[in-house]
Amino acid sequence: MEILDVAFHRASLATPHGQTKPERDRRRAELKIVRAGATVVRHLRLESRRFLKPPLTSFERTLVIERFGEGTLDRALARVRRAEERIRGLQHEAERSTRRLHGPEMLGDAVRSYYGRLSSFVREVDPDLLRLREVDRFLAGRPKVNPDQPTLVVAGFPNVGKSSLVGRLSTAHPKVADYPFTTLSIALGHADVGFDRLQVVDTPGVLGRARRANPAEAEAEAAVRGAATVVVFLLDPTGTGGHTLEEQEQLLERWRTELPNLPILPVETKSDLLRRETDRLQVSSVTGEGVAELQRRIRELVKPKGELPPMEEALVESPPEIEDLPTPPPKRGRRARSG
């Protein structure tokens, strides 16, 4: 418990002032109590601060929940906060009690017993501190997704070609390989969609089993649920990915049911290997076929809301002024209400 070593060392350096030896003995005991307690409390604060100031984004929270389980982080933070309060209480109590004590022996005993209780509080909260550090390391290894920018998440079964497509669509250069779970954590690239910078997130494959088995899949689920403005659900109809189209479609249906408000665009890939009758857009990351059309559809889906009011709305809102319209007529996208 390094922190206790640091706290006790700092406390031992206390140099009390005072006219008489009894005064200095008492002051020394007080200083030890205050310094040791304050050092530990400051340490606990720092360990929690990364999650509180600034607070985690909603996506980071989703990532942490998918990866570590609901409530894990909040419980650890709450226990650390409680430990802080208890240590502060302990410190005040010990400070008060030294006022009633006399002589270096009694004061020394009081400090020792305080140190003992302080140590046991710190030991109690140690697993929570380890957990906080684990979550912190996990988040530090993930790209920062800006919640204020539109975000395209490319998701699907393992080995279907998600990373290849992300490489085509964005600035990212994810690793591509012919085996499942090449991608183990989310990666971020950017694309220009004309009016905005689009964040493009590559995800690990998801097998869509009811009970998820691996952390990589959990991470992809988190990206779909917590970061996406739009999802491209990539299906591999060729069988070279290792899974049937039906299996992949089950996951697509599950997400559509669970996330009714999220635009999910199903796209079939590897069209250079297999062309088939389908209503879905077909693309190839090898030849680039269909990619321009995919970009057009993505632009449609992430278009900033309110930029182009629907025609009916514009007409209903402004019928009386229609005749007063100045010439030339207003540009598309502007309200017809002016003058």
Q: How far is the CB of 183 from Mg ion (least distance, A)?
A: 3
Q: How far is the CB of 62 from ligand GTP (least distance, A)?
A: 20
Of the candidates 285, 294, 298, 314, which one interacts with ligand GTP according to CB under 6 A? 285
Per the CB < 8 A criterion, the answer to whether 7 and 118 are in contact is yes
DSSP state of 1: -
Q: How far is the CB of 66 from ligand GTP (least distance, A)?
A: 17
φ/ψ of 155, rounded to 5, equals: -135, 165
Closest to Mg ion by CB, 77 or 152 = 152
Residue type, 339: G
Q: How far is the CB of 264 from Mg ion (least distance, A)?
A: 19
Q: How far is the CB of 247 from ligand GTP (least distance, A)?
A: 14
Closest to Mg ion by CB, 32 or 162 = 162
**Binders of ligand GTP among 241-280, rule CB under 6 A?**
269-270, 272-273
Q: How far is the CB of 154 from Mg ion (least distance, A)?
A: 9
Percent helix, strand and coil across the chain, each to the nearest 5: 50, 10, 40
Closest to ligand GTP by CB, 84 or 236 = 236
Q: How far is the CB of 262 from ligand GTP (least distance, A)?
A: 20
Question: Kind of pairing, strands 197-202 and 187-192?
Answer: antiparallel
Residue type, 10: R
Of all helices (H) and strands (E), which one includes residue 154? strand 151-156
- Please choose which of Mg ion, ligand GTP, none residue 270 contacts, taking the beta carbon within 5 to 8 angstroms, the exact cut-off set by kind: ligand GTP
Of the candidates 108, 143, 180, 263, which one interacts with ligand GTP according to CB under 6 A? 180
Closest to ligand GTP by CB, 265 or 336 = 265
**Binders of ligand GTP among 198-217, rule CB under 6 A?**
204-205
- Please choose which of Mg ion, ligand GTP, none residue 284 contacts, taking the beta carbon within 5 to 8 angstroms, the exact cut-off set by kind: ligand GTP
Q: What is the DSSP string of 221-280?
A: HHHHHHT-SEEEEEE-TTSTTSS-HHHHHHHHHHHHHH-TTS-EEEEE--TTT-----SS
Q: Is 183 in the site for Mg ion (CB under 5 A)?
A: yes
Alpha carbon distances (Å) from 124 to 11, 84, 85, 152, 271: 21, 12, 14, 43, 58
Question: Kind of pairing, strands 281-282 and 187-192?
Answer: unpaired
Separation between Cα atoms, residue 166 and residue 15, nearest integer Å: 62
Query: Residue ranges of the alpha helices (H) in 53-102?
Result: 58-68, 72-98
Q: Choose the binding region for Mg ion from 125-133, 154-162, 272-280, 298-306 (rule: CB under 5 A).
A: 154-162
Closest CA to 333 of 306, 312, 315: 306
Q: Is 163 in the site for Mg ion (CB under 5 A)?
A: yes
Closest to ligand GTP by CB, 182 or 229 = 182
Per rule CB under 6 A, count of chain residues that contact ligand GTP: 23
Q: How far is the CB of 190 from ligand GTP (least distance, A)?
A: 18
User: Residue 104 contacts by C-beta under 8 Å, 6 or more apart in sequence?
Assistant: 25
Burial class (CB in 10 A: 0-12, 13-18, 19+), 209: exposed
Closest to Mg ion by CB, 142 or 162 = 162
Where do contacts with ligand GTP occur on this chain (CB under 6 A)? 158-164, 176-178, 180-183, 204-205, 269-270, 272-273, 284-286
Q: Applying CB under 5 A, which residues contact Mg ion?
A: 162-163, 182-183
